[in-house]
């Protein structure tokens, strides 16, 4: 009975992230439009986009290989699994021990590997330019992410997300400078990983400035739907990650029962709403930076993460 309940909660989480991901994207777009004094499309527009893409015919370039058609499903699957492993409304889910934070980041790395390969499969210069810049950004972002994980693990004594989240919710964590620095670094990494302003612009279609959009330029129809869905899931994943690490309030435990779960879901939705609003505000206030300024941005994230770790050592020894 226990196992069935656990599986049920895990299943709810998997479906929840799937259902919420397009909504979050639509919500961020709506807020951005309102901040620019536009009415903007409905927040349910991404669902309609996905449905429309699924109904459309798929065009595959004549030089494309099987990798081009298989990659969208693999990218979607890897991102979905990763998003389902981050605590959203409850922690301590049955399969949460399958992968710790490092493995979740690496799983997203697998998805990115296939995305970058897919960009190069057709053999155009746009795909290549996108892939080449994407791996450059990833090469900077991943060390920063690992150092963030390191500083978190140093505080909580674990890399298991459920354990870290439980520790963050406990009163012994207190207010720490290094956690604040780690949070800023994680936000910077999240912006880079999700191809948001100022690293990349999700709304642009100007060839020379594109990174993510350049890689997926050749995709259409159901393949494009999978990739867009994966991108939305990734945004949701990073929001959930920030939420469960730095705002762990209202996180239910696995066996708590439906009433607490409902509360957890409500808290989670509130966190997403706040995070999405802040993201839209930030994006509206910033200009996109040149590609070769990106290393400075991510270098700052790296240094902040290292600083967070070193500050912890100092504060521990005092």
Partner 1 sequence: MMGQSPLVWSLGCVAGLIAIAALAVALSRFRNATPVIYALCLIVSTLGLSSALAALLNPAPVAPTLVLPFGLPWLGANFRLDGLSAFFLAIIGLGGASASLYAIGYGRHEAAPSRVLPFFPAFLAGLNLVPLADDAFTFLIGWEFMSLTSWALVMVQHREAENRRAAYIYIVMASFGTLALLLAFGLLAGAGGDYGFDAIRAASRDGTVAMFVLVLVLLGAGSKAGLVPLHVWLPLAHPAAPSHVSALMSGVMTKVAVYGFVRVLFDLLGEPGWWASAIVLVIGGITAVFGILNALLERDLKRILAWSTIENVGVIFVGIGLALAFKANAMDRAAALALTAALLHAFNHSVFKGLLFFGAGAVLSATGTRDLEALGGLIHRQKITAVVFLVGCLAISALPPFNGFVSEWLLFQAVLQSPELPQWGLKIMVPAIGGLLALAAALAAACFVRVYGIAFLGRPRSPAAANAMEADRFSLAAMWLLAVLCLLAGILPGFLIDAMAPVAQSMVGARMPVQSDVPWLSIVPIAATQSSYNGLLLFLFITLSAGIATFVIHRFASHAVRRGPAWGCGFADPVATSQYSASSFAQPIRRVFATILRAREHVDMPAPGDLRAARFTYETHDLVWVTLYAPLVNTIRFGADRLNRLQFLTIRRYLSLVFLSLVTLLLVLAIWT
291 binds partner 1 (CB under 8 A): yes
Q: Which is nearer to partner 1, 97 or 249 (CB)?
A: 97
Tell me the closest approach of the beta carbon of residue 226 to partner 1, in angstroms: 7
Among 170, 293, 310, 315, binds partner 1 (CB under 8 A): 310
103 binds partner 1 (CB under 8 A): yes
Residues 174/93, Cβ–Cβ less than 8 Å? no
Report the C-alpha gap between 244 and 239 in whole angstroms: 9
Report the C-alpha gap between 32 and 35 in whole angstroms: 5
Instruction: Give the closest residue to 78 by CA, choosing from 46, 117, 107, 118.
Output: 107
Which residues within the stretch 162-201 sit at the binding site for partner 1 (CB under 8 A)? 163
Instruction: Give the closest residue to 248 by CA, choosing from 171, 193, 176, 305.
Output: 171
CA distances from 229 to 17, 32, 222, 224, 288 (A): 11, 20, 10, 8, 24
Which residues within the stretch 6-35 sit at the binding site for partner 1 (CB under 8 A)? none
Which of these ranges, 73-81, 169-177, 187-195, 263-271, lies near partner 1 under the rule CB under 8 A?
73-81
Report the C-alpha gap between 224 and 112 in whole angstroms: 15
Residues 137/298, Cβ–Cβ less than 8 Å? yes
Which of these ranges, 1-9, 22-30, 191-199, 301-309, lies near partner 1 under the rule CB under 8 A?
301-309
Tell me the closest approach of the beta carbon of residue 111 to partner 1, in angstroms: 9
Q: Which is nearer to partner 1, 43 or 152 (CB)?
A: 152
297 binds partner 1 (CB under 8 A): no
59 binds partner 1 (CB under 8 A): yes
Tell me the closest approach of the beta carbon of residue 134 to partner 1, in angstroms: 9
Tell me the closest approach of the beta carbon of residue 295 to partner 1, in angstroms: 5
Provide the 3-class DSSP secondary structure of residue 237: helix
Report the C-alpha gap between 20 and 18 in whole angstroms: 6
Which of these ranges, 33-41, 132-140, 192-200, 273-281, lies near partner 1 under the rule CB under 8 A?
132-140
């Amino acid at each position: 009975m226990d196992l069935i309940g656990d599986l049920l909660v895990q299943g709810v989480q998997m479906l929840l992230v799937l259902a919420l991901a397009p909504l979050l994207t639509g919500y961020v777009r709506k807020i951005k439009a309102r901040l620019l004094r536009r009415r903007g499309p409905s927040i349910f527009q991404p669902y309609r986009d996905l449905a429309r893409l699924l109904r459309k015919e798929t065009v595959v370039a004549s030089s494309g290989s099987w990798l081009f058609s298989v990659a969208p499903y693999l990218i979607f699957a890897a991102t979905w699994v990763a998003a389902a492993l981050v605590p959203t409304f409850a922690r301590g889910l049955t399969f949460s021990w399958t992968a710790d934070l490092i493995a979740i980041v690496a799983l997203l790395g697998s998805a990115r590997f296939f995305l970058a390969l897919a960009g190069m499969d057709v053999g155009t210069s746009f795909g290549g330019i996108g892939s080449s810049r994407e791996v450059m950004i990833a090469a900077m972002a991943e060390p920063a992410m690992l150092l963030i994980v390191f500083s978190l693990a140093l505080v909580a004594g674990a890399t298991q997300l459920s354990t870290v989240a439980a520790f963050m919710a406990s009163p012994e964590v207190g207010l720490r400078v290094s956690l604040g620095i780690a949070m800023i670094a994680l936000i910077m990494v999240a912006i880079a990983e999700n191809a948001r302003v100022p690293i990349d612009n999700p709304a642009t279609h100007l060839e020379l400035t594109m990174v993510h959009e350049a890689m997926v330029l050749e995709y259409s129809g159901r393949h494009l739907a999978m990739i867009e869905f994966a991108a939305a899931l990734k945004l949701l994943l990073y929001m959930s990650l920030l939420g469960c690490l730095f705002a762990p309030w209202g996180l239910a435990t696995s066996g708590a029962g439906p009433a607490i779960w409902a509360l957890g879901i409500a808290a989670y939705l509130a966190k997403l709403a706040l995070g999405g609003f802040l993201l839209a505000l930030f994006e509206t206030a910033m200009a996109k930076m040149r590609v070769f300024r990106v290393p400075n941005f991510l270098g700052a994230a790296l240094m902040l993460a290292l600083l967070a770790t070193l500050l912890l050592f100092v504060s521990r020894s005092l």
